[in-house]
Structure 1
């Protein structure tokens, strides 16, 4: 039993060196009376794969990893356990405890390889068949739940689609019983050694990968005996590398981590109203030197310092699908702050100026007024962090009014995977209108205008913060009138001083204007500049700057609009998954769908040496194809949303082969991807990407007829897709 209230620090010392193994034992709250917890001010686990791998490279080399900073926690404070799943379990301090103020990211990364704790999100491996890169003694790889076959060996970025497909093919050969399981479910086999997915390595044996936690556990269980350690892994036949690993774990066991105790006078220092809390200030300054601290992280940390229960309350709010579908927990806090500032007072002398993106100065200046203390009245930010409040009710209404309703014929609502792509500023605009017009009947009557305006904003707004601020002003002035002012908002956002200048948003242009840009399909594979028609002199483009911007934004920059365009398919395939596993996610590494090329990229955009042209590449058309083929191939007209495992099974099959496949009637139909927009469209696609079932090289042969069909099919589909978008949005125009 340890009676020192400041353990592990003794004799008024503020620095203590602790063995790394002892520290990780303490971090998992084993064998010590004093708990190590995360103060409420802390955020989540934000490290990227390369940061995790680099830390473990340092550990296995025996390098120091820097000091960790602790603060003494008092009884009654709210803190959280340290968990490698990044699932903070709030608890009230009831005994001796220390808070880990600086070092959470490193600690969580180390616990991924700690033998006595399992992570359901991450797994670290060493490839015993490879030496490390750039002088590293070992080849360290990371796999995650969303990337069960890991990341690229050197850059630690996402594997290419080809590599992911090859990794899954290799896995399915080894474990055919799991073929029907999507990739993200394979990580559930974390403790089933035979079914555990390993990092992908071309022409490599996956059995040569060994978990770091298993290696460290073996070192501990053999009491450091080198011969016993080697015997445990002798079947792998890599004694030299295992010998080096044995030495590496010997070094890890001797590593000492410097712990620094923050003096209590800093924590307890009384500050005048409006001055930053010293602990928050210290945390902010620490964050500048580590994983960058976003304004959202800082605000939430400041709130938790004054209102420790906020972590648990916000977690509860964010667990609701109606909130989680739109934004992260920290974005919810920022939204609550902005809406609290907007509704705090109706008196001009005490109103807080609206700021769509508040900064630390705003937090320090206004947090006391908006948050207050328990029992204070008219503290809207504290109210918006409560379990059920006006803001969460507004989220419920917004979710319901925007949501795609499959039971209605040709409904034009948004499927769940589209919702997190809506900008935060737009979501806040819609929320404040709902809060000012809370009658459900009024909200339902305005559904069409709300959805139309949301789609317009997503594609057309050029200056998010300025647009959101202007919209806030109009809605507050229009308070309680019962009609969503979509037309007034639209007119304000597109307002400009001349036809060639932009306002805050691009005006909604008819589908004829995009068709006017793309209509010259006889001119094959034009450059981005040449894609616009020329005047009679042949020198100046007729298309306006706004038409050019429309082309760039719709055809190139806003591919998530496909989630809305293919809403029936997206809702059918992903609604349940979105509610349970993927709500609020936009990262392409983490979602269960791909933006797939209809005519596969390998057939036109891969290595030019694999492409055959007829006649030869000296003709002007073939030269243009070589230099500018991405302009057609990556246009939205050649992209569709497809469930990831289905996309992997299709591989590089031609579109003609996919249309003939028996999967056509089971998991995918051409209607799901809105392929055909005119009578000739099917024929054009068949010419552009013909069935290659009997000759896989057939689709790498191009002649001018096929090039013409490819461009025409892509542009016709782009026009057809935009026509559907325009028809849904045009209701907001006078």
Structure 2
């Protein structure tokens, strides 16, 4: 077998996978390089820098790539032609639309570390990254201009994450061409022919000084011809490059297999992208049970990564073998020990091989989505569910395992209570899942029980006190509270003991049937306000109809580490009026980066250019106010027509605090939180006649 490979040979491992003698073993993880790393590798190749060798193990007729997958896939992406792809192309670890690599033949930018300007366009960033910094996103304005161009293609009618890779291009560039055109062509005339045949008519870049594809072609034939010739020759020199390989001896592999020890895999990957524990456990298990990869990808239902599926499945089996006890996240050493136990090994294989685990996950995700719940309007956006699972693995496992051992018929009312409790735990800092598990996992009535006990459970573990929105609204409408922020009172974030503040303290005492002194109540209030100020999941819940309608095709589990959300977190009162400004009232600084001043907006609908447009301008259209979840707070926003230069910040304070409470109120009302708190603890109805 060959001991050196050309770049084309390496690309063919995936371009022509059916005829390739090189395969990716099941022990390998997915493709994890960021676009910057792909671009930097190709810059190194063109500059003649060494990129290291490849490491293989060998069977009778195949080579299994043990080290070099990230580099091999990056080389493949440079050769991949999306305009003329064949069924033989099988990317090892990237699903869906493949990224496209472009080379700017005469770039006008000054990249910070590279000589050549390569740009990878991806599903999340179809316009590429900044020309001067391939690790930085384009500005909102630049992305919007690119989007306006891409929308000219008749197929690009949905959100930009659904655009075909043949309809987009790097926008912050001058004269980019798909690298594959240069690699495939016999001469520069063929390169120009491919540009003419494949690139869209609306092809135009930020720095190129041409209006469309026809003008670009004219430049390629005239002014840019010397640069194209030079780049063409440099790229063609890569045909002579041979990458060395090494083969691991059979005796080493035999020893590795006999001990089931991943030392070899860990060490040969230690110089690359670091493996986390779940990655390594996943690789170990795939080596034992190769079919697991496909099975676990299906089990996750596009909500749970395969590595996390295995982690959760392992803990379910371990709990089954431990009389339903809580099992903490399993590390590599623990997994190695457990997998040698036949009962654990067979239980895990059974969970994955049968439909049991998939059905459990599907049931749990269905409950969390509220999609078929008659008591809930609409559905929870998938991004909220994915973030919940990703950030709260123990909580999600609690739900799954409760369903696993408590096989009872669930009403819509119970399902809504399940979601309400879980989101309350996740969003308001519940901090003792092991105790919750060991005390409640077998309790069939757990979801029906009031939340009272779990609010500051034993005064340190539980969720924050969830305050009735009307009571919170009454508190923030008190002139004294407003004045504390305007005058920059050092205690402004704490609880005002008088007025509605005293009602809040009484509420705390009623919920826990005890008497809290002011200092403790003050701390509880401060922590709660911090959550409703800064947890953006609450905004997504309030804007869920807009999020589901506008970004329904958005899948945050992209294979590449390139998953910025497809909406902007837009400041209603512009950050440009606050950031680094010499004079700005402290109250405005305090509140400007909080939920009350943020909205999720698509590039198409956010016409504010993210800088100096006033709140009144941003929210002037009723349809924009509707999708921005602006309600009665509009009465204050519409008075903010210019930057506030004096101490008259009342409208800013009222607008943001009103909207913050309205956002929180969606959580309270739609999840029917009041039904989860013992009715005897809710204070009398707050006054509706509050002085302004």
Q: TM-score band, normalised by the shorter chain?
A: 0.7 to 0.9
Task: Check 1:233–1:528 CA distance in 2 against 1; reply closer, same or farther (3 A cut).
Answer: farther
Alignment partner of 1:129 out of 102, 106, 118: 106
CA distance in 2, matches of 1:160, 1:97: 47
Alignment partner of 2:456 out of 470, 485, 494: 494
Task: Check 1:271–1:53 CA distance in 2 against 1; reply closer, same or farther (3 A cut).
Answer: closer
Deviation at 1:672, TM superposition (A): 4.0
Deviation at 1:102, TM superposition (A): 0.9
- 1:330 matched to which residue of 2? 307
Deviations, residues 109-135 of structure 1 (Å, cap 9, x unaligned): 111111567583311222233265246
Task: Check 1:38–1:565 CA distance in 2 against 1; reply closer, same or farther (3 A cut).
Answer: same
- 2:320 matched to which residue of 1? 343
Deviation at 1:368, TM superposition (A): 2.8
Range with bigger deviation, 65-74 or 488-497: 488-497
The answer (yes or no) to whether the contact 1:149–1:197 under 8 Å persists in 2 is yes
The answer (yes or no) to whether the contact 2:22–2:65 under 8 Å persists in 1 is yes
Task: Check 1:485–1:183 CA distance in 2 against 1; reply closer, same or farther (3 A cut).
Answer: closer
Task: Check 1:309–1:180 CA distance in 2 against 1; reply closer, same or farther (3 A cut).
Answer: closer
Structural mapping, 1:494-573, within 5 Å: 494-496=456-458, 502-503=460-461, 505-511=463-469, 512=471, 516=475, 520-523=481-484, 530-533=491-494, 544-556=522-534, 558-573=535-550
The answer (yes or no) to whether the contact 2:591–2:656 under 8 Å persists in 1 is yes
Range with bigger deviation, 309-318 or 540-549: 540-549
Q: Report the TM-score, using the length of structure 1 for normalisation.
A: 0.74
- 2:507 matched to which residue of 1? none
CA distance in 2, matches of 1:416, 1:31: 36
CA distance in 2, matches of 1:371, 1:514: 56
The answer (yes or no) to whether the contact 1:40–1:308 under 8 Å persists in 2 is yes
- 1:63 matched to which residue of 2? 49
- 1:670 matched to which residue of 2? 625
Range with bigger deviation, 565-574 or 527-536: 527-536
Deviation at 1:71, TM superposition (A): 1.1
Deviation at 1:659, TM superposition (A): 4.8
1:484 matches 2:458:
no
1:151 matches 2:129:
yes
- 1:22 matched to which residue of 2? 9
The answer (yes or no) to whether the contact 1:145–1:185 under 8 Å persists in 2 is yes
Alignment partner of 1:104 out of 42, 57, 69: 69
Any unmatched runs of 5+ in structure 1?
Answer: 1-6, 9-15, 75-95, 191-195, 225-230, 374-378, 609-616, 618-622, 691-698
The answer (yes or no) to whether the contact 2:121–2:169 under 8 Å persists in 1 is yes
Alignment partner of 2:598 out of 616, 639, 649: 639
Which structure is higher in RCO with an 8 Å CA cutoff and minimum separation 6?
2
Structural mapping, 1:361-376, within 5 Å: 361-369=333-341
- 1:451 matched to which residue of 2? 419
User: Aligned to 1:305, what secondary structure does the other structure show?
Assistant: helix
Deviation at 1:332, TM superposition (A): 1.2
The answer (yes or no) to whether the contact 2:22–2:64 under 8 Å persists in 1 is yes
CA distance in 2, matches of 1:30, 1:459: 46
Task: Check 1:598–1:179 CA distance in 2 against 1; reply closer, same or farther (3 A cut).
Answer: farther
The answer (yes or no) to whether the contact 1:36–1:98 under 8 Å persists in 2 is yes
Alignment partner of 1:683 out of 605, 627, 635: 635
Deviations, residues 459-498 of structure 1 (Å, cap 9, x unaligned): 12264xxx3322221234xx2x42135758873673345x
Deviation at 1:586, TM superposition (A): 13
The answer (yes or no) to whether the contact 1:493–1:505 under 8 Å persists in 2 is yes
Deviation at 1:27, TM superposition (A): 4.9
Deviations, residues 317-344 of structure 1 (Å, cap 9, x unaligned): 23x3xxx23x222111111111111112
- 1:52 matched to which residue of 2? 38
- 1:436 matched to which residue of 2? 405
User: Aligned to 1:471, what secondary structure does the other structure show?
Assistant: helix
Deviation at 1:456, TM superposition (A): 0.8
Deviation at 1:182, TM superposition (A): 3.1
Superposed CA RMSD = 3.8
Deviation at 1:551, TM superposition (A): 2.3
Deviation at 1:40, TM superposition (A): 0.7
The answer (yes or no) to whether the contact 1:40–1:304 under 8 Å persists in 2 is yes
1:723 matches 2:665:
yes
- 1:360 matched to which residue of 2? 332
CA distance in 2, matches of 1:138, 1:262: 35
Alignment partner of 1:397 out of 363, 384, 406: 363
Structural mapping, 1:418-429, within 5 Å: 418-422=384-388, 423-429=392-398
The answer (yes or no) to whether the contact 1:452–1:731 under 8 Å persists in 2 is no
- 2:299 matched to which residue of 1? 317
Task: Check 1:31–1:257 CA distance in 2 against 1; reply closer, same or farther (3 A cut).
Answer: farther
1:594 matches 2:552:
no
- 1:160 matched to which residue of 2? 139
Range with bigger deviation, 149-158 or 508-517: 508-517
1:295 matches 2:277:
yes
CA distance in 1, matches of 2:101, 2:299: 32
1:141 matches 2:123:
no
Structural mapping, 1:578-589, within 5 Å: 581=555, 589=563
Task: Check 1:703–1:180 CA distance in 2 against 1; reply closer, same or farther (3 A cut).
Answer: farther
CA distance in 2, matches of 1:582, 1:267: 37
Deviation at 1:568, TM superposition (A): 3.5
User: Aligned to 2:483, what secondary structure does the other structure show?
Assistant: coil
User: Aligned to 2:66, what secondary structure does the other structure show?
Assistant: strand
1:385 matches 2:352:
yes
Q: Report the TM-score, using the length of structure 2 for normalisation.
A: 0.78
Deviation at 1:522, TM superposition (A): 3.3
- 1:211 matched to which residue of 2? 178
CA distance in 1, matches of 2:587, 2:427: 25
CA distance in 1, matches of 2:342, 2:99: 39
CA distance in 2, matches of 1:170, 1:572: 22
CA distance in 2, matches of 1:31, 1:296: 30
Structural mapping, 1:116-265, within 5 Å: 118=85, 120-130=97-107, 133-134=111-112, 136-153=114-131, 154-169=133-148, 175=152, 180-186=157-163, 188=164, 190=166, 196-201=167-172, 205=174, 208-218=175-185, 234-235=220-221, 237-265=223-251
Deviations, residues 210-253 of structure 1 (Å, cap 9, x unaligned): 111112222579999xxxxxx99842623554354234324422
CA distance in 1, matches of 2:348, 2:18: 40
Task: Check 1:488–1:646 CA distance in 2 against 1; reply closer, same or farther (3 A cut).
Answer: same
Deviation at 1:257, TM superposition (A): 1.2
CA distance in 1, matches of 2:38, 2:609: 34
Range with bigger deviation, 105-114 or 527-536: 527-536
Deviations, residues 280-323 of structure 1 (Å, cap 9, x unaligned): 331122333211111111111111111111112112223x3xxx
Task: Check 1:599–1:528 CA distance in 2 against 1; reply closer, same or farther (3 A cut).
Answer: same
User: Aligned to 1:39, what secondary structure does the other structure show?
Assistant: coil
User: Aligned to 2:355, what secondary structure does the other structure show?
Assistant: coil
CA distance in 1, matches of 2:53, 2:347: 39
The answer (yes or no) to whether the contact 1:70–1:100 under 8 Å persists in 2 is yes
The answer (yes or no) to whether the contact 2:472–2:661 under 8 Å persists in 1 is no
User: Aligned to 1:290, what secondary structure does the other structure show?
Assistant: coil
User: Aligned to 1:646, what secondary structure does the other structure show?
Assistant: coil
1:282 matches 2:237:
no
Deviations, residues 541-589 of structure 1 (Å, cap 9, x unaligned): 9972332222222202x112222223343344444x25xx557999994
Task: Check 1:342–1:221 CA distance in 2 against 1; reply closer, same or farther (3 A cut).
Answer: farther
